[in-house]
């Protein structure tokens, strides 16, 4: 009797877990589609990616499977250094197909290493999310 209950419980948990991985996002706050443009917000999915002073969330705009632009969201990075990061990375991925943008090797910016590495990681995780959930 106990064995059947345990097996049934495990089966239910596995089914629910599998369902959560295969469900398409609807209004999860991560990805939405507006006028044919997918907008991926990395605030939630990149919450563990830290720059020098905390998270560096982004919005990634994708149209017809190409990156249109990267928008830098509010963060706690030192403005003096983050301005350099924005200038260096603002257009790096623009116009690239998602798979090419994801594969692009981008070096961190000297003097703002933690911040720039966090931006790069947020772009990577956002593009990966898009590929899995579009």
Please report which confidence band the pLDDT of residue 89 belongs to, taking 50, 70 and 90 as the band edges: very high
- Give residues with Cβ within 8 angstroms of 64, minimum separation 6: 36
Q: What pLDDT, on a 0 to 100 scale, did the predictor assign at position 73? A: 97
pTM score of the predicted model: 0.78
How does pLDDT run across 28-71, given as a tens digit for each residue? Answer: 789 999 999 999 999 999 999 999 999 999 999 999 999 999 99
Please report which confidence band the pLDDT of residue 5 belongs to, taking 50, 70 and 90 as the band edges: low
Q: How far apart are CA 55 and CA 85, in angstroms?
A: 14
How does pLDDT run across 62-75, given as a tens digit for each residue? Answer: 999 999 999 999 99
User: What is the pLDDT averaged over residues 115-125?
Assistant: 98
Q: What pLDDT, on a 0 to 100 scale, did the predictor assign at position 29? A: 85
* 26: pLDDT strictly greater than 60: no
């Amino acid at each position: 009797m106990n064995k059947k209950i345990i097996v049934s419980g495990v089966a239910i948990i596995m089914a629910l877990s599998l369902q959560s991985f295969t469900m398409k996002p609807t209004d999860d706050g991560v990805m939405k589609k507006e006028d044919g443009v997918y907008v991926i917000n990395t605030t939630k999915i990149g919450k563990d990616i830290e720059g020098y002073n905390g998270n560096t969330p982004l919005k990634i705009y994708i149209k017809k499977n190409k990156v249109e632009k990267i928008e830098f969201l509010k963060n706690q990075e030192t403005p003096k250094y983050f301005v350099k990061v924005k200038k260096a990375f603002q257009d790096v991925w623009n116009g690239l197909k998602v798979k090419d943008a994801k594969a692009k090797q981008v070096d961190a910016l000297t003097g703002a290493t933690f911040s720039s590495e966090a931006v790069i990681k947020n772009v990577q995780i956002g593009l990966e999310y898009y590929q899995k959930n579009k």
